[in-house]
Amino acid sequence: MQYHLNGFKPGNYQIPDAVRKPAPLLPIVDLPEEVDVLIVGCGPAGLAMARQLSEFSDITTCIVDLEEGPLIFGRADGISCRTMEIMEGFNSSDFVVKEAYRLNQNTFWEPDTTNPEKIKRTHKIADARIGLSEFAHGIVNQARLHELLLEGMENSVTNLVPHYSRRLLELDVDANLTQDLEAHPITAQFELNDGSESPKKETVKARYVVGCDGARSAVRRGLSIPLEGDSANKAWGVMDLLLVTDFPDIRVKSFIQSKEHGAVMTIPREGGYLCRFYIELGLLGEGQRAADLNLKAEDVIAKAQQIMHPYTLDVKEVAWWSIYEVGQRVAERFDDTPVDNPDSLIPRAFVAGDACHTHSPKGGWGLNTSLPDTFNLGWKVASVLQGKCKPELLQTYSTERRKVAFQLINADKELSRLVATRPTSDDVSPEAKTNTADIEKFMARQNGFVAGTAIEYYPSYISTGQENQQLATGFKIGQRFHSAQAIRVSDGDRQHLGHLNKADGRWRIFVFGNKQNPTEASSDSYKLIEFLANSESSPVQKYTPAGTDVDSVFDVYGVFQQPDLAIENMQDYLWPAKGKYGLRDYEKVFHAEQGNDIFELRDIDRSQGCMVIVRPDQHIANILPLTAHKELTEFFDVFMIAQNNQ
């Protein structure tokens, strides 16, 4: 798709440039007095949280933001492979895939050895993340991602929409009520930010609050959580430009280092014409902020032209620009419990996204770390509110995501240093000098983390079973379910199994059969399905509420090696009757595809088979042998609450 030819226009890219307009502002509606979950901030973390909770009609959610309406311009650009997988969980990946620039190559430029005042391309390589996911790393306006999440919220069963123009004035968490899960210990006072002389004050009581309100988070301040780490010491400019240039790699991601003037990183944007520039500006003095530099857009463009000499930059339009500071900090805590939580308190207030980790924006790491923060938290809060899981589950959010934040900070420090180094300048010490080969090595080494596909949660009661990892070494316990295709038995359709892991709060159990015929009662697969469907000790029987569909909590799939299966010969549980009419679900049984065999691709033990248990956030929670019926139940017994099925 191409757009922005005659000027940048935000909004829905499915609408032609000539008539595309930003979404109209929503009318001001009073805040609710009492809710289950209060979300502060409409960035990627806040919207991902709200998008999940919007699917549950029995959970009341309120999301507020200081701005008067949705984001329109700028900010993050990169959409990692993992974020694309999450968007597929929201049924929104198709639009992102179609509209985004797909990042396939990187080029590297350094001072020309024969004429160091000029830059010269050293080499061009394929992007290191290719093949880590069925999705490519994409580049698209963050506002468009927000729009897709907002559309999903509004079109959900709860018709959830944000409340804009609200400033959080005060946040109080009543410590005497936090361990009473029926109580509303959170009191938040807001001011209607409508420009009036006497702005209206509103108060919301909540059972849980999630602060997704950025680096200067009012929620974090209200919880007295400090940020720890390095303050900013370098300024960079970031610009989205429509320009005419003779720089040959303007449509390829490029790392450019000059002799004396610093560095530029260019990233092509969606639509074929727009391009983002990250421009090194220089060191900041102690206590100095980027805003103190008083730079104009023209100053930043002039700096880029110096760095990219001898190529010319004829800028026709600046769609968006900003100056930012490079500093890396992580919140001391990610929730309202004390450090290390010695008394095992249940958290009731959380921070996510830039509210708990700050860093440079290169590569869209902020968005691609912030959104998974609440993708991790959302299903946990929902399952506790719905009485499906024990409240101690909420303690795992900080443990799992704070580890990721530190990995992010360390990677950002290294990349910021590499990109900013001037390799041949006389005033750079020899030990500080680098070249673009170092950047290439960094990207290759960190490709799984940058893509988000290598994010791994520590072993815990929801990330366990490492002793069985050899049964399927391509499905790494603690990492996300790495999708591969299989053939649906009922209709022969080729399906990505990872796309079955929707963001609907359900657990998935993938039964990868062994060499035995799964239709024979003596086979391990048959016995496992019989156990799941009928045994009183089955987690399906214990934890599925009465009167709901058999797959309302556990969505079970059979993936078998035999290509000649027929759906009518499978056990009823694998094509169950559902809904008020008892209609059959024909989409739960698959067989491996010849030449694209998932058993080979994910190194699944053909002789033994296995169960792969997938959390609602698409991460693998456990791998068990097909015969481990008791162990399967014991796994869920640790954190789930038995339902009254009488």
User: Beta strands of 552-631 (E only): which ranges?
Assistant: 554-560, 577-578, 583-584, 589-591, 610-614, 620-624
Query: Largest Cα–Cα distance of the chain, in whole Å?
Result: 83
Lowest mean pLDDT among 194-198, 246-250, 506-510: 194-198
Q: What is the pLDDT of residue 113?
A: 92
Q: What number is the average pLDDT over the span 88-108?
A: 93
Q: What is the pLDDT of residue 428?
A: 44
Residue 469: left (phi > 0), alpha (psi -120 to 50), or beta?
alpha
Task: List the domain boundaries for the chain.
Answer: 232-327+412-451, 466-637
Q: What is the pLDDT of residue 424?
A: 41
Dump pLDDT digits (tens) for 362-410. 656 788 999 999 999 999 999 999 999 999 999 999 999 999 999 888 8
**Do 466-637 and 232-327+412-451 fall under one CATH topology?**
no
Average pLDDT, the chain: 92
Lowest mean pLDDT among 282-286, 573-577, 597-601: 282-286
Q: What is the pLDDT of residue 361?
A: 65
Dump pLDDT digits (tens) for 580-639. 999 999 999 999 999 999 999 999 999 999 999 999 999 999 999 999 999 999 999 999
- Is it the case that residue 641 has pLDDT exceeding 60? yes
Q: What is the pLDDT of residue 425?
A: 42
466-637 maps to CATH 3.40.30.20: yes
CA 502, 507, 512, 516 dihedral sign is: negative
Burial annotation 32-48 (CB, 10 A radius, 16+ → b, else e) = eeebbbbbbbbbbbbbb
Residue 513: left (phi > 0), alpha (psi -120 to 50), or beta?
beta
- Is it the case that residue 513 has pLDDT exceeding 60? yes
Dump pLDDT digits (tens) for 311-338. 999 999 999 998 887 678 999 999 999 9
417 three-class SS: helix
Residue predicted with more confidence, 73 or 279: 279
232-327+412-451 CATH pick, 3.30.9.10, 3.30.70.20, 3.40.50.720, 2.30.30.230? 3.30.9.10
Give CA angle at 44 (43, 49), nearest 5°.
100
Q: Give the side-chain half-sphere CA count within 13 A for 551.
A: 24
565, 567, 536: which is closest to 646 by C-alpha?
536
Q: What is the pLDDT of residue 70?
A: 94
- Is it the case that residue 142 has pLDDT exceeding 50? yes
Lowest mean pLDDT among 6-15, 248-257, 347-356, 527-536: 6-15
- Is it the case that residue 250 has pLDDT exceeding 60? yes
Dump pLDDT digits (tens) for 417-471. 777 654 444 444 444 445 677 877 887 788 888 889 999 998 999 999 999 999 9
Residue predicted with more confidence, 281 or 457: 457
Lowest mean pLDDT among 243-247, 288-292, 613-617: 288-292
The Cα–Cα gap between 309 and 299 comes to 16
Using a pLDDT cut of 90, give the percent of the chain over it: 78
Q: What number is the average pLDDT over the span 295-307?
A: 95
Q: What is the pLDDT of residue 291?
A: 73
Q: What is the pLDDT of residue 362?
A: 62
- Is it the case that residue 232 has pLDDT exceeding 70? no
Q: In what order do the strands lie in the sheet with 620-624?
A: 494-496, 485-488, 589-591, 554-560, 507-512, 610-614, 620-624
Neighbours of 491 (CB within 10 A): 10
Q: What is the pLDDT of residue 426?
A: 44
- Is it the case that residue 34 has pLDDT exceeding 50? yes
Q: What is the pLDDT of residue 326?
A: 65
